[in-house]
Amino acid sequence: MTKKITAVFSFVLLFAILFAQLPLNFAAAGSSNPPPVLTSASYILADADSGQILYGKDETTRMFPASTTKLMTAILAAEYAEQHPEATVTVTKQTLEDIPTAASKIDLKADETLPLSDLMYALLLSSGNDAAATIAQLIDGDAWKTTFPEKMNQKAAEIGASDTHFTNPHGLHDDEHYSTAKDLCTILAYALKNKTVQEILKTETYTIGETNKSDARDLKTTNELIIPTDTNYDPNVIGGKTGFTEEAGYCFAGAARKGGNVLIAVVLKNDDDQKRFEETAKLLSYGFNNFTKTEIPSDSIPRKKVGLVAEDKRMGEASVYAGSSAYLWLHNGLTLADNVRIETNTPENFIYEENGVYTAQATVSLSEPSRYMKSELGTIPLTVTTALYDTPKPFTGENEGNEPENNAASSGPNALTIVIIVIIVIMILALCIMIGCYIYANVKRKNAVKNRKFSRMGMGDRSLNPDDRNRNNEIQIDEFDEFEQTIVRTGDIAQPNDALEAKYIAAETELRKIEKERIDKKINALREKGIIPENIQELVLDQENVNDDLNDTRILSEDINEALKKRKEQRKNQKNDF
């Protein structure tokens, strides 16, 4: 029985452990495909609108960007074209002199005049380094080698590409010319917001008309992902920019649209021309097939109240909250309720300024790291509403305006976890009750056996029926007295006769008969109660009881013989005295 209880307990414990691990295993099982394995030194997959990084490797490591630099040149050119839609430029000899012979170009000639729009197609489709330098010359004149890179860096910082430093408009190698996969993703996302750049990036071929120095030029994009006849063609791709130098390796920054959402993938320093396109396609496919854009309701983002403080006075309070819902990409194996943590970042108190504008944001991250996506999911801008007191209050340094956070997604056990805990507790309690009942029944049975055993050892009457016990005692006493009365008490020698022996034998026979009837009665009672067929131990004890009783009968017989013998000796002594 003990082995059975141990087996049951082990099974229940194993079931509880497996059941507790169910949500985690289910989340892992929900992953339809593992992340792609890439050979590029640095890469990133991110949302074009929010900048959320879905997946990546060394995406913030500084790398040489090569001709992906031309995305920033195109941004400045498009913004210049908005102010000067008919702008044209005449190429100077000085502009072309620093372009290496082996570098990609469209063979611009000195004194050749072209419209800016043609140069932008040459910049992004054919990756013309001479076109990049000529655009910089158009915008900044003879000083373009110094001033144009400054404009590029200023724009990069303005749009959030804070770890980028450009020294030229084309990306030819310079040790101080660097960027990161994350910054290039930001730059491409910004470039796609410009309709002119967007239109050029999705163009497969373009023809520059005849100029004063050249015949018409046919241009073809270097982006194989938008060429229908190419093996790397992806109909979802809406544009991208290639890059290559010996130091930078093969690079590519591309974007794709599906279901109204745009994802951007950047791969840097690959050792193979074709692999950069293949790995970009893998990243984009992984994002669209394994992630879902999920809504974060505004009421699930923690709301706070903080004070407005000026020196030693509390001027009022500010409410910090989400004015609208937010959205994030979440891997299909994860859920907002179980795997996402949202924290509102605010100071203890805002420093009061007259007509001041206060800002706050919430950070969103995974509660536990995941191999399927990045843990940092981004930030959510929050609304700050202020209310001033009619009369300033003394400020003690404590933030009296804080309200407790009520973010179900960021703290506290979820409903599924509570249900699992309750089930485990109930199962453990049930197991304890089973063990307790077994122990109680076992102790009770042992006590009963012990009492019966003590009874047989003389510590109690052996018969189950008190009437039987009394009757047996009376018979033994009466029979012995009757034997004593039959002895001849005359002056002659007392002689036992044959009748006395017969009387003795009859008494012993009667005792055996009575004892047998008592035993049969006890056995019948045990059979009626169903004890004998089910409890072998009781049957063995009953047999011991029968043996004890027969032994007692034998001892009684010996006692009677001994008494008769003593009485005979006494009669003999009396005769001798006479």
CB of 252 within 8 A of CB of 272?
Answer: no
DSSP annotation of 486 reads: T
Residue type at 137 in one-letter notation: Q
Distance CA 312, CA 394 (A): 6
Residues in the chain: 578
Distance CA 140, CA 148 (A): 6
Closest CA to 12 of 436, 435, 417: 435
End-to-end CA distance of the chain: 77
Q: Taking the CA of residue 402 as centre, how many other CA atoms within 13 Å lie in the half-sphere pointing to its CB?
A: 11
Residue type at 180 in one-letter notation: T
Label each residue of 120-146 as H, E or C: HHHHHCCCCHHHHHHHHHHHHHHHHHH
Which among 117, 127, 179, 285 is annotated as catalytic? 127
The number of beta carbons lying within 10 Å of the beta carbon of residue 314 is 21
**Residues 6 or more apart whose Cβ sits within 8 Å of residue 379:** 361, 362, 363, 364
Long-range contacts of 158-167 (CB under 8 A, 24+ apart): 159/186, 159/187, 159/190, 160/51, 160/186, 161/186, 161/187, 163/60, 163/62, 166/69, 166/72
Tell me whether residue 161 is exposed, middle or buried, using C-beta atoms within 10 angstroms of its C-beta: 0 to 12, 13 to 18, 19 or more.
buried
Partners of 45 in the beta sheet?
Answer: 55, 265
CB of 162 within 8 A of CB of 183?
Answer: yes
Tokens, residue 146: 């110094």
Tokens, residue 489: 């008490």
Is 70 noted as a catalytic residue in this protein?
yes
DSSP, residue by residue, 239-279: EEEEEEETTTEEEEEEEEEETTEEEEEEEEEES-HHHHHHH
Beta strands in 59-101 (DSSP E): 88-90
Which among 40, 42, 67, 463 is annotated as catalytic? 67
Which among 70, 151, 182, 374 is annotated as catalytic? 70
Is 67 noted as a catalytic residue in this protein?
yes
Is 50 noted as a catalytic residue in this protein?
no
Residue type at 412 in one-letter notation: G
Closest CA to 182 of 159, 169, 163: 163
Q: Where are the alpha helices (DSSP H) in 160-312?
A: 181-192, 195-201, 273-290
Instruction: Indicate which residues carry an active-site annotation.
Output: 67, 70, 127
